[in-house]
Structure 1
Amino acid sequence: MSTGLLAGVALLGALTGLVAPRAARHFTTPAAPVAPHPPSAPVAAGAVVFAGLAAARGADAVLPVLLLLAAVGLVLALVDLACLRLPDPLVGAAALVAAVGLTGAALTSGTPGRLLGAVAGAALCFACHVLLALLPGSRLGFGDVKLAAVLGLPLGWLGGSSLALGLLLPHVLHGVLVLVLLVAGRVRRDTPLPLGPALLTGAWLAALTP
């Protein structure tokens, strides 16, 4: 991808990050406003996420699907950070984007067989996270389970290495964050923390792998 196109995608990501907090407010309560972050944080996050996907995937037919999922993901992350929930309408929108977008990418690229990998990835992510949610003392919510299943669609499409990283990285990232916050005295062992941002970040990093 040329430098000009990459810059254009990064700008699109920044604009998405600019409007994401306003969209997120529709899914939060006044008691849980969207912000304890600098106003520029979603803008920077959008630019980095979009540019990273564009640099990694180039002219791949799946790139528009990944960018649309990233846009919905930014809103989901903000809502989860604000009120510890992943609203079904947003998760459903992500599922629709993934299902329709990947079907279109399969048809335009002449690789319909990759849809089987996408479905298998979603099923594996769903099964693994259901098991985690059912463990005694687990704080994994079924919103997290549903989001993990949706993210399994593009990860399964991208292949086994991306899928494996997408399963592992979110929990490594979340575990490290929890440990850092515990050591810093910012949280206690029983403090509820959102997993959605870690699921989304892990999936993004996995999508950057060749």
Structure 2
Amino acid sequence: MARRPLAQLGVVLGLAAVAVWFALARWQSGDAAHLAASIVELAAFLYLAVITVPLALIDLEVHRVPNRIVLPSYLVGGALLGGASAIACDWAALVIMPAGGAALFVVFFAVAVGSPRGMGFGDVKLAGVLGLFLGHLGVPQLIVGAFAAFLLGGLFAIALLVARRAGRASAIPFGPWMLAGAWAGITAGAPLTDAYLALFGLAV
């Protein structure tokens, strides 16, 4: 049991390192406005990194995504991401961010209604938060993040079925795979989309 907090700390630090790497890759040097926008954006993704671990662990243990973490994240994420876009005068991101949150909320809501055993409304609320972060980055990141969640979750479910550790009626937590998919979209959404388009000769 004593090793568990150390493992959690290690995961948090790892995700924080990813967030820092990502933010530095997007770092906008130049005038004070772009520098300030980069700092605020870094704070937003560090926040997402920090809440990723408890959300994933809680969902794995009790099959629940707690409102006490998810709901404040709408305010924190929206304020930080919206602030970064406004400071940088990136009005497109300011529009796509809430649109992305709404889009993922609606998609996951439809899935939850159609398959209540496969997805809970905690996942739906989490989808809205992740949509804000992915939408802030752009449509490619939003699409890859959503697709990766279903891909990873589906592969995990298949693995459990093959290993006979779950049945068709078993409840499988989806939150961890939503979070993993979101990070895949955040860090690799743009290059994956470019590679996919290039594969079919559609690269711009």
Q: TM-score range by the shorter chain?
A: 0.7 to 0.9
Kept in 2: contact 1:49–1:204 (CA 8 A): no
C-alpha separation between the residues in 1 aligned to 2:178 and 2:132?
Answer: 13
Kept in 2: contact 1:118–1:153 (CA 8 A): yes
TM norm structure 2:
0.79
- Does 2:13 align with 1:43? no
Instruction: State the 1:138 CA deviation.
Output: 4.5
C-alpha separation between the residues in 1 aligned to 2:127 and 2:145?
Answer: 9
Aligned to 1:157: 136
C-alpha separation between the residues in 1 aligned to 2:48 and 2:185?
Answer: 14
Instruction: State the 1:122 CA deviation.
Output: 0.7
C-alpha separation between the residues in 1 aligned to 2:78 and 2:61?
Answer: 28
TM norm structure 1:
0.76
Find 1:52's aligned residue among 18, 32, 35: 18
Q: What is the identity, as a one-letter code, of the residue corresponding to 2:121?
A: F
Bigger mean CA offset, 105-114 vs 92-101: 105-114
Q: What is the identity, as a one-letter code, of the residue corresponding to 1:139?
A: G
Find 1:208's aligned residue among 154, 170, 187: 187
Bigger mean CA offset, 48-57 vs 81-90: 48-57
Q: How does 1:190-201 map to 2 (within 5 A)?
A: 190-201=169-180
Aligned to 1:143: 122
RMSD: 1.9
Find 1:123's aligned residue among 102, 111, 115: 102
| Percent identity of paired positions between Structure 1 and Structure 2 | 34
- Does 2:28 align with 1:75? no
* Unmatched segments (≥5 aa) in structure 1: 1-34
C-alpha separation between the residues in 1 aligned to 2:17 and 2:186?
Answer: 12
Deviations 1:88-147 (A, max 9, x none): 111112112111111221232222331110011011101111111121564211110010
C-alpha separation between the residues in 1 aligned to 2:70 and 2:170?
Answer: 24
Instruction: State the 1:44 CA deviation.
Output: 3.0
Number of residue pairs aligned between Structure 1 and Structure 2: 175
Aligned to 1:12: none
Deviations 1:158-192 (A, max 9, x none): 00110001110011101111111221222222221
C-alpha separation between the residues in 2 aligned to 1:109 and 1:75?
Answer: 31
User: Relative to 1, partners in 2 of residues 1:64 and 1:43: Cα closer, same or farther, differing over 3 Å?
Assistant: same
Aligned to 2:72: 93
Aligned to 1:105: 84
User: Relative to 1, partners in 2 of residues 1:136 and 1:100: Cα closer, same or farther, differing over 3 Å?
Assistant: closer
Q: What is the identity, as a one-letter code, of the residue corresponding to 1:43?
A: L
User: Relative to 1, partners in 2 of residues 1:171 and 1:115: Cα closer, same or farther, differing over 3 Å?
Assistant: same
